[in-house]
Structure 1
Amino acid sequence: MFPKLLQEEVGSNILLLPHFLGVCRKDSKKQAVGSRMIFVALLLGVSMGVMTEDPYLGIYSNIFFDWKVTYGTIAPLGVPQQGILINGEFPGPKINCTSNNNIVVNVFNYLDEPLLLTLSRVQQRKNSWQDGTPGTMCPILPGQNFTYHFQVKDQIGSYLYFPTTGLHRAAGGIGILQVHSRDLIPVPFDRPADEFAVILGDWYKKGHKTLKRLLDSGRSIGKPDGIVINEKSGKVGDLAAEPLAVMEQGKTYRYRVCNSGLKNSINFRLQGHTMKLVELEGSHTVQNVYESTDLHVGQCLSVLVTANQVPKDYYFVASSRFARRPDVAVAVVRYANGNGPASPVLPPTPTENSAGIAWSMNQFRSFRWNLTASAARPNPQGSYHYGKIDVTRTIKVTNTRSLVKGKLRFGINGVSHVDPETPLKLAEYFGLADKVFKYDLVKDEPANEPAVVAPNVVNAVFRNFVEIIFENHEKMIQTWHLDGYSFFAVAIEPGRWSPDKRKLYNLQDAVSRHTIHVYPNSWAAVMTTLDNAGMRNLRSEMWERTYLGQQMYVSVLSPAKSLRDEYNIPESQQLCGIVKGLPKPTPYAGT
C-alpha cells in the first residue's frame, strides 16, 4: 500500500538526519528496521563530518515515531461514528520529549482522503516547509507516507497536534506534545510526582464527512452535541472503568490540559481542590491559584494539584462556556487507597451572562509571565524587553461573515481564504507565486467592501516588530493562532480598539503564547517580532470558520536567502500542483 519505502525516505535525507534526530521517548510501537536505518544514517553523517549543535545521545533509544493513521469506530457521546486513530489510539500517542530534542514522525495515511497533521504549535524554527497546513505542504495522499522532521528548539510546555485537512479535527487524530526543560535549566517548581495529559473539547454526533458536507453546502454545522474529556463524556454517577488520574495523599501532580474543540471555550475544575497555574502555552507563569480556569479553543496550560483532601474519588469537571445551555462532562480522579465515590454535587461554573465574560476577562488579566524563571534557554525570560521595541506595523484583524453566491463564508477583513491546488509556500519558492495567488488582498485596516474569495497572503518584512489587533464584532467568542511564532498577549478589553487604547497594554510581563481569544464585542492586542522566516498561517481556531475561509498566510522572506534564516526545502518534500516535477531552485547557502 505504501510504494514509497521507508528506506528511500531515510536515504534521501542522509545528510539531514544528524541535524534532525535526537532523543525522544515514544509512547507508540517502533519498527526495528526504522531504528537500524537511522543508526546507519547517523553514523554515515558523522563520518562525513556533519556537525550538530546539540548532542545526539542514546542511539539505541526509541527516537523514531511510526504513526499509522486509520479509521476506527468510536463513540465519545455514546453514538458510534467513524473516528480517526493513530496506531489504533484515540486520543493519539503522546510525544514526550525535552527542549532541543529533534523529532522524526513518519506518518502513514490509511484514510480514503488526503491528510495533513500539524505539529506547528511548537515553533518550527526556519522550517515552515513542514507546518502541516495546506498553504505550506502537499497533503499526504491515501496509501502514501511522509516523514516530519523538526526540533523543539529552546522551548518547553504543552502543545496539541491535530489534522488540518477537511473536518478531520472533528474525528480525532489529536494528541499532546509535552516538552520538558533540560536538566541544566532550573524549573520554578518542584518536580511533580506524576503528570497527566487531559484533552478537553466539544464534540458532534455527526461524523466528520457529514459536517464537511454541511459546510460545503453553505450551511453551518450548528451547536456541538456535548463535551468530552480525553474523548469520553462521563456523567455524574457513572461507574468509572478507568480514572483520569490516580493521586497519592500529600503528593503534588501536574495536569497538562488542552482544549482541542471546534467551537466552545471550556471551564474546568477539580472537585474539592485548587489549581496552581505554572505554564501557559510554553511560558512559565506567575503561580496564581484558581478554583476553576477558562480554556479557550486551541489553548493548553499546566496546573499543579496537591492531593490534600480526604482519600476518595473526586470529579474533574469540564463545561462549555458562554453557551445558552452549557454542556458538562466529568471524569473521576482517584486517590490511591481511597474509600468512597465522588460527591454528586459539582463545583459551579462561573456565571454565563455578561458578568461571566467579565470574570473570564479578569482571569486573563491575572495571567503573568514569570520573569524570574529561566526558560528553555539559559537567559532569563525577562531579558527580552518587548515593551521598549518600536512597532513598525499595525495590522487590524476583524472576523467577517457573509453569504457568497448564497453560501456561508467567513473571512478576515472581507477576504475569505481558499487553498489553491499548489501550496502557497511552494509556489513562492519556485518563483510562481503570480500564477497561484496575489499578495496583500487583505489590508491592514478593514474595508467596507464586498467579500472576496481567494488565497489570502500578506507580505511582511523579516524581523519587523508588529502589533496585531483582533477585533470581534460578533456575539460569540473567537480564538486565533499564529503558526511559527509566540507573541506577547498585551491586552484584551471590551469595545473597539483605537490608538489611545495602547495605554491599557501590559508592557512588562504579558505572557508569551501562540493563541489569543477575543470576547464578544471586544478586542485583543498582541506583539511579536517576525524573526522566523517562512510562510505562516494566521487562523481562527474555530474550525468551521477556518474551513470556510477565516484565515490568511503571512509571507516572511529573508532577503539574505541564507541557511542562517531558513532551511532549504527537504529533499523528500512532496511536490504537487504546478510545481510537480519541476527542478528545485538553487539551495540557500550557509553563513
Structure 2
Amino acid sequence: MGGRKSLLATLAWLMAAGTLMMVVRAEDPYIFFTWNVTYGTISPLGVPQQGILINGQFPGPNINSTTNNNVVINVFNNLDEPLLFSWNGVQQRKNSWQDGVAATNCPIMPGTNYTYHFQVKDQIGSYYYFPSLGMQKAAGGFGGLRINSRLLIPVPFADPEDDYTVLIGDWYTKSQTSMKKLLDSGHSLGRPAGVLINGKSGKDEKEPLFTMKAGKTYRYRICNVGLKNSLNFRIQGHTMKLVEIEGSHTVQNTYQWLDVHLGQCYSVLVTANQEPKDYYMVASTRFTKYDLSATGIIRYENGKGQASQALPEAPVGWAWSLNQFRTFRWNLTASAARPNPQGSYHYGSINITRTIKIVNSAGTVGGKLRYAINGATHVDSTTPLKLAEYYGVQDKVFKYNTIADEPPAQVKSDNITEQPVVVNATFRNFVEIIFENHERSIQSWHLDGYSFFPVAIEPGTWSPEKRKNYNLLDAVSRYTIQVYPKSWAAIMLTFDNAGMWNLRSETWERRYLGQQLYISVQSPARSLRDEYNLPDSAPLCGIVKELPNPPPYTV
C-alpha cells in the first residue's frame, strides 16, 4: 500500500513540475503534460498584440503521442476569461466529455485548472488543438498534435529522418476582444492582415524553420489553423509525396502544390535532393481578391547560398483544387492503427438509413449579421447541452431536431431562427450528409468525434441521382471537408460514437455567429460499453450545478 502511495505522489509531483513522462503499465501507456496558459505580447506581423501562450510558447507545444496512448493534460487557466481546449480530429471514443467545446463542457474558469484525459484510441495521423471559446483561436493557443503508429503496425513508407509540424493560417492584428465586439455589433471581420507559418510571417527572417540533410527524406505535417482562408502550400524546388490525410494513409501521389483548407491536415514526404542551400516554403491565400502569403526557410545542413527570391506561384481557380481533391485516394493495402487493412471497412456496400442535407446561409437576427444552417443559427446555452442531456433536464435547455433533414426551399435573410441547434441521431446508423453551398465563397466543415468518407464534391446542386458518381471504394477517411462555391459535397459515416458532437463551419466568424450544430448520439443502453460517465473532476454549471448526480452508466 505504501508503495502505491509513493508512486501516486511521484506522478503528482511530475505533473505539477510540468514534466512529461511515460508510465509503463499493464494497460495502455500514459503521457502527462502540464500547461500554464497566460497572455503575452507577440508580434507575428510586426505589430505588438496580446496573444495566448501555453508555457510561454506561441504556437503552443507539440503533443507527440502514439496510438492508444492515454493523454493527460493539466490546464491552468491564468487568463482573465473562461477557457476550453478542443482536439481537432481526435475522435474521443465514447468520451465527448473531453471534446472541449461549449456544448459538452463547462469552461475552465480564470484562476482554476482542469485535467483533460483522453485516449487516442485506434488512431494515427496529424491533428492540432486550439482554444474553442469565442474568438480565442484568433489570439493563439493552438499547437500540433501527432499520433504515431505503434511499432507492431507497419507503415507504408520508410522512417523519415525527422518529423516536422507546419501550422499555417491567416492572421489578424486585431485583438480577439475587438474581433468579438465587431462580430457582436453585426459586422464581418474583413480581410486578415497576413499569413503565418508556425507563428512567423517570414518577413526579414534569416533563421531557418527547418533543416535537412542532403539525400535524406523528411515528413512535414501541414495543418491550416487559420480563421478565414484556404491556403496553398508549396516548397521551392521540391516536390511533396502525400502519405497521410487526417488519420488515413493515402495512395502516394506526388504534388508540387497542395490546397489546405480551413481545419485540414496533410502529411507529405520531402526528399532533400536539390543543391544544398536555402529554400522557401510558401503558404498563400486562395480564392480571394487579395493575395497574402508567408514564407519560411528550409536550410540544408552545410549548404551554401540564400534562397532564390523567385517564389513558386500558386495555381489559379477552384476547378484546379477540385481536380486535386479527386486525386486523393485511400491506401487500401496499408495497415491502419489496428492490425487490419484499412480497406476492410467496405463503406460503399452499407445501406444508407438517413440523408441529412446541410445548406449554409447568411442573414440577420435583430438587425445583426448571423450565419445559419437550414434556416437556424446556433447559440450556446449557459448549461452545456451534453450535461443537460446527461442529467435528464434537456427539455429545459434545448429541443431536438430543431432543423429538418431537408432544408426549406428558400430561407429569407430576415427569417432565421436563433436557438441551440441539436440533431438527434440513431446510434450505429449509417448516414449520408450533403453539404450544399449556394454562396460564392468556399466553405469548410468539420465534425468532432468522427472520421467520415467524402464520396463526392461536384458543382451545382445535389439530387439523389448524383449518387451514381460517388466514390464507394477508396475515399479517404478524414474529419474535414471543403465545399467549393455553388457546389455540394457528400460524406458518409456510421454514428457509432455515443456523445454530443459539434458539426461546424471552420470559417471562424461563421461558427461564432451561429453556423454550427450539435449531433446527439445516444446509446439505448446506459452502458459503459458505449459511453463513459461524466468525470468526477468535471466542473458543473448552469441549471445542473446543484442537481444530484444521475445514476452512472454500468457495464
Q: 120, 126, 130: which one pairs with 2:94? A: 126
After TM superposition, the structure 1 = structure 2 runs for residues 163-312 of structure 1, keeping only pairs within 5 Å, are 163-235=131-203, 238-240=204-206, 242-312=207-277
- 1:107-118 to structure 2, matched below 5 A, reads 107-118=75-86
CA distance in 2, matches of 1:455, 1:120: 22
CA distance in structure 2 between the aligned counterparts of 1:325 and 1:567, rounded to whole angstroms: 47
**2:149 & 2:28 partners in 1: Cα distance?**
15
The C-alpha deviation readout for 1:34-81, integer Å capped at 9, x for no partner, is: 889x98xx9xxx9xxxxx6x4448xxxxx3211011000011111100
Q: 1:98 aligns with which of 66, 80, 96?
A: 66
1:501-516 mapped onto 2 (5 Å cutoff): 501-516=466-481
Which amino acid in 1 is paired with 2:70?
A: N
Tell me the SS of whatever aligns to 2:123: coil
Give, in whole Å, the separation in 2 of the partners of 1:239 and 1:85.
21
1:347 alignment counterpart: 312
Residues of 2 paired with 1:180 and 1:559: CA distance?
A: 34
1:531 has 2:503 as partner: no
Using the alignment, how far apart are the partners of 1:128 and 1:307 within structure 2?
42
- The gaps in structure 2 that reach 5 residues or longer are none
Distance change (3 Å), C-alpha of 1:253 and 1:313: same
Identify which of 572, 579, 591 aligns with 2:537.
572
Distance 1:330 1:232 in 2: 8
Contact 1:489-1:511 at 8 Å conserved across structures: yes
What percent identity do the matched residue pairs reach? 67
Paired residue secondary structure (1:215)? helix
The residue that corresponds to 1:84 in the other structure is 52
- Is 1:405 the counterpart of 2:366? The answer is yes
- Check the 8 A contact 2:29/2:68 in 1, yes or no: no
Structure 2 residue aligned with 1:326 = 291
The correspondence for 1:520, drawn from 461, 479, 485, is: 485
TM-score (norm 1): 0.90
* SS of residue matched to 2:167: strand
Residue by residue over 1:535-572, the C-alpha shift from the partner in whole angstroms, topping out at 9 and shown as x without a partner, is 01100001100000000000000001110000011111
Q: State how far apart, in whole Å, the 1-side matches of 2:263 and 2:99 are.
A: 16
Deviations 1:97-133 (A, max 9, x none): 1000000001111111111100152100000011100
Aligned with 1:144 (options 112, 118, 127) = 112
Of 381, 406, 409, the match for 1:445: 406
Q: Name the structure 2 match of 1:359.
A: 320
TM-score by length of 2: 0.95
Instruction: State how 1:6-85 maps to structure 2 within 5 Å.
Output: 31-32=16-17, 54-56=27-29, 63-85=31-53
Q: Which runs of 5+ in 1 are unaligned?
A: 1-10, 22-28, 47-51, 58-62
Letter in 2 for 1:31: A
For the pair 1:462 / 2:441, whether they are aligned, the reply is no
Query: Structure 2: how far apart are the matches of 1:486 and 1:175?
Result: 20
* Distance of aligned partners of 1:264 and 1:465 in 2 relative to their CA distance in 1, 3 Å threshold: same
Q: Which residue of 1 aligns with 2:554?
A: 589
Note closer, same or farther for the CA distance 1:239–1:224 as it changes in structure 2 (3 Å cut).
Answer: closer
The 2-side partners of 1:435 and 1:494 are apart by 42
Tell me by how many angstroms 1:244 deviates. 1.3
> Offset of 1:239 from its aligned partner?
4.3
Q: 1:579 to 1:484 in 2, by over 3 A?
A: same
SS of aligned partner of 2:280: strand
Counterpart amino acid of 2:379?
V
Give per-residue Cα distances to partners, 1:495-547, cap 9 Å, x unaligned. 10000111111000000000000000000000000000000110000110000
Say if 1:101 and 1:152, in contact at 8 Å, map to a contact too.
yes
What is the letter of the counterpart of residue 466 of structure 1? Answer: V
In the alignment, the residues of structure 2 paired with residue 583 and residue 316 of structure 1 have an alpha-carbon distance, to the nearest angstrom, of 55
Q: Does 490-499 or 440-449 show the bigger shift?
A: 440-449
Instruction: Report if aligned partners of 1:120, 1:132 keep a CA contact under 8 Å in 2.
Output: no
Instruction: State the alpha-carbon separation in 1 of the partners of residues 464 and 46 from structure 2.
Output: 50
Partner amino acid, structure 1, of 2:373: I
Residue equivalent to 2:457 = 492
Q: Is the 8 A contact 2:282 2:295 kept in 1?
A: yes
Aligned to 1:419: 380
TM-aligned CA deviation for residue 360 of structure 1: 0.2
Matched, 1:381 2:349: no
Aligned residues: 542
Matched-pair contact (CA < 8 Å) for 1:247–1:253: yes
Separation (CA, whole Å) in 2 of partners of 1:475 and 1:192:
41
Which aligned runs of 4 or more in structure 1 are off by greater than 6 angstroms? 33-36
Q: Provide Cα deviations, 1:424-471, integer angstroms capped at 9, x if missing partner.
A: 000011010010011111111111352100000011100000000000
Q: Equivalent residue of 1:501, what SS? A: helix
Question: Counterpart of 1:458 in 2: which secondary structure?
Answer: strand
CA distance in 1, matches of 2:197, 2:96: 31
Query: Take 2:517 and 2:261, find their aligned partners in 1: how far apart are those partners?
Result: 21
Alpha-carbon separation, structure 1, partners of 2:53 and 2:189: 23
**Amino acid in the other structure paired with 1:402:** G
Cα pair distance change 1:83/1:35, threshold 3 Å? closer
Equivalent position SS for 2:453: strand
**Contact 1:395–1:469 (CA<8 Å) still a contact in 2?**
yes
- Aligned-pair distance for 1:490? 0.5
Indicate which of 121, 125, 133 corresponds to 1:153.
Answer: 121
Once the 2 structures are TM-superposed, how far is the Cα of residue 207 of structure 1 from its aligned partner?
0.8
Report the Cα distance in structure 1 between the residues aligned to 2:208 and 2:20, rounded to whole angstroms.
Answer: 34
Q: Is the 8 A contact 2:28 2:69 kept in 1?
A: no
The verdict on how the C-alpha distance between 1:34 and 1:321 changes in structure 2, with shifts beyond 3 A counting, is closer
* TM-fit CA distance, 1:328: 1.3
- Contact 1:120-1:484 within 8 A present in 2 as well: no
Letter matched to residue 16 of structure 2: Q
Deviation at 1:33, TM superposition (A): 8.9
Name the SS for the 2:91 alignment partner.
coil
Alignment-mate amino acid for residue 140 of structure 1 = I
For 1:211, what is the secondary structure of its paired residue? Answer: helix
Letter paired with 2:173: K
CA distance in structure 2 between the aligned counterparts of 1:573 and 1:30, rounded to whole angstroms: 18
Q: Which amino acid aligns with 1:310?
A: E
Q: Distance in 2 between matches of 1:143 and 1:91?
A: 22
